Amino acid sequence: MATPLIPADSVFGIVAVLGLVGAIALWLEGRGIGRRISGVVMGILGGMLCSNLGLLPFASPVYDFIWAQVLPFGLVLLLLHADLRRIVRETGRLLLAFIIGATGTLLGALTAYGLFASFPQAAALSGMFAASYIGGSINFLATSRALGMDAFPDLQAGAMAADNLVMAGYFVLLFSLPEISALRRRFEQRAAGAMRTAPLVASPAALPDEPLRPVDMLAVLGLGALICLFGQWIAGLTPFAGAPILWTTALAVATATIAGGPLRAMRGIQPMGLALMQLFFVVIGVAASVPAVLRIGPVVVAFLAVLIAIHLLFLLGAGWLLRLDLREIAGTSNANCGGPTTAAAMALAKGWNPLVVPLILCGTFGYAIANFIGIGLAHWLGA
């Protein structure tokens, strides 16, 4: 294998490339072909190009540090908006739809595991994908770390690439779901008054109008680090391998619930968390050998096709029985599979303004619970 242009021990060189690739992917997300390909997918592809073309190494202590230390920190930042009291108070029937969708994901993961149990690391993949399709891609990353999948970089990268491919196609289906005439005729008017008036808000990925202040940035860094410190300390008292992620998740959600008001007044929490997550996606791509991804990807796509088909069928069936609106079903499925960012973007693009705030809250609730469900499922299946 040829020596990469930037050596594995060049911290500044590697971080420079990772940061620039992630930034370019986010910048392209709203331009041209980037409107059809998410910033996550472009970040992964950009990372794959950098390593497979010889610019970056496939493995480096820098990547190890990002996985071990920066990942839980970024997850904590995003969870500092997961105020459980507000979620329960403001989501109403959408929270019920979200829980139904999460149940469908869990059933889909179990079914897919039964069909693909002989595939390498099938139990861990079931847990990772259950987490990803309950809370979004950041839970895939956190669960992957907790289950030790960074020891299998080709499998991990192939799974992530397949995940994004399937998710991109599924989002296209969700956008058109309420316009499918056969479904619309059966669901129309079954949830009278579901689309209540609610304020129009920005996507959680949007940057605040006000400039970031040094005091906010320092407070965010200090609080996030403190939660990670206590989470790791408590985890050290337990033998469970995935305990650090679970404890930091629990502490972050508890902090957000107890101090929701002061945290909402702090600027920079969400943008910093989203930026760190984008960095992780680029690292996922960098660790991927293209030949290995091509060997692994097709089987994982089939695995995910089973999972997501059962998720949607279960949600549609339960939604019919509970008289849910098709727009609620499509929006909450998006919140399950993509998280609050994609769900809010979909609602805004479709003009479903009353659903924007509840979908953001449901997606944030998914952030909070998906790690526990995914890691628990994987260990129950024998990972």
The token pair that represents 278 in the structure block: 């984008």
For each of the domains in the chain, give its residue range(s) and CATH number, in order of start: 12-187+213-380 (1.20.1530)
End-to-end Cα, the chain, rounded Å: 32
Q: Is the pTM of this model over 0.85?
A: no
Q: CA-based angle 364:318:141, to the nearest 5?
A: 30
- Cβ(143)–Cβ(287) under 8 Å? no
Q: Residue 97 and residue 319: Cα distance in Å, rounded?
A: 7
Say what the pLDDT of residue 20 is.
Answer: 95
Of 6-10, 113-117, 172-176, the poorest mean pLDDT is in 172-176
Residues with Cβ within 8 Å of 95's Cβ and at least 6 positions away in sequence, in order, are: 87, 88, 358, 361, 362, 365
> 102 versus 273: which is more confidently predicted?
102
The token pair that represents 168 in the structure block: 């991109």
Average pLDDT over residues 258-268: 80
- Please choose, from the candidates 111, 128, 90, 159, the residue with its C-alpha nearest in 3D space to the C-alpha of residue 354: 90
Q: Residue 337 and residue 352: Cα distance in Å, rounded?
A: 19
Average pLDDT over residues 12-23: 94
- Cβ(254)–Cβ(230) under 8 Å? no
Model confidence at 290: pLDDT above 80: no
pLDDT tens digit string along 177-228?
887 877 777 776 565 544 443 443 334 444 445 667 888 889 888 999 999 9
Q: Do you know the residue count of the chain?
A: 383
Average pLDDT over residues 262-278: 81
- Residue-averaged pLDDT of the chain: 80
Say what the pLDDT of residue 315 is.
Answer: 93
Q: How confident is the model at residue 240 (pLDDT cuts 50, 70, 90)?
A: low
The DSSP 8-state label assigned to residue 211 in this structure reads P
- What are the DSSP E strand ranges found in 243-284? none
Model confidence at 339: pLDDT above 90: no
